[in-house]
Structures are given as C-alpha cells and as structure tokens.
Amino acid sequence: MEKYVALADVKDMLSAESEKRELGSSAQRSALEHSLAMASLSAADVKALTAELRALKFMTDYAAYKIGDILPKYPEDVRAIFAKERVNLSADDVKQIIEIVGKYL
C-alpha cells in the first residue's frame, strides 16, 4: 500500500534526524535541503489542508498531497497536478481547490 508523505513532514523528519546524527547519504542531505527550501507550510497546516482537500469527492490522496506541497494559486497549476489523473475538473472544482489552498497561505 502506498502512503504519501508531505514535504513538510519530510522536512521535520530529516531535520530531527540531522540533529541526532550527521545524515549519511547525499540523497538524505539533498532531500533535507530541498524540503527546507520548498516546504512553506508547517506539517500541521499541511495535514489540515490535505484533510480538507480529501473531503472533496473527486480528490485522490496523491493529488491532495501534491497540492499541499505545491500550493497552487492558479487554475493552470491545479490542472497540471491532475493531468495524469482520470478526473475531469470543472471550473468550480478548480476554484474550490484554490480557495481551500488560499486559507493556508
């Protein structure tokens, strides 16, 4: 079973681990640097955001976490996230996603 993890959670996990010990691999160090640079919400806010998004009938877990990581502000960005999904979003669906994301920015 796949489990998605938000970038904010990765940041918290790797930051905590780096305080205990030196991160061993370059992949771990790169992931920490990326998460520090890109995760703009706290893990708690991302959890609340993804929970609110997953309540939408058309939302998949993957899309909810991707939206939580990217925080799209424009309809084109939302549609890009759903490009590989088999979901036809209406303009109202896209607007609803942007409004939910806007509460957390």
pTM for this model (two decimals): 0.89
Q: Tell me the longest C-alpha to C-alpha distance in the chain.
A: 48
Residue 81 has pLDDT above 90, yes or no: yes
- Phi/psi at 82 (5° precision): -90, 5
Residue 69 has pLDDT above 90, yes or no: yes
Domain locations along the chain: 7-38, 43-104
Provide, rounded to the nearest whole percent, the portion of the chain with pLDDT above 90. Answer: 89
Instruction: Give the whole-angstrom CA distance, residue 18 versus residue 52.
Output: 31
For 43-104, the fitting CATH number among 1.10.3430, 2.60.40, 3.30.720, 1.10.150 is: 1.10.150
H helices of 5-90, where? Answer: 7-20, 26-38, 43-54, 61-70, 75-81
For the stretch 33-66, pLDDT in tens is: 999 999 999 999 999 999 999 999 999 999 999 9
Kindly state the DSSP code that residue 41 receives in the 8-state scheme: S
12 pLDDT tier (thresholds 50, 70, 90):
very high
pLDDT, position 85: 85
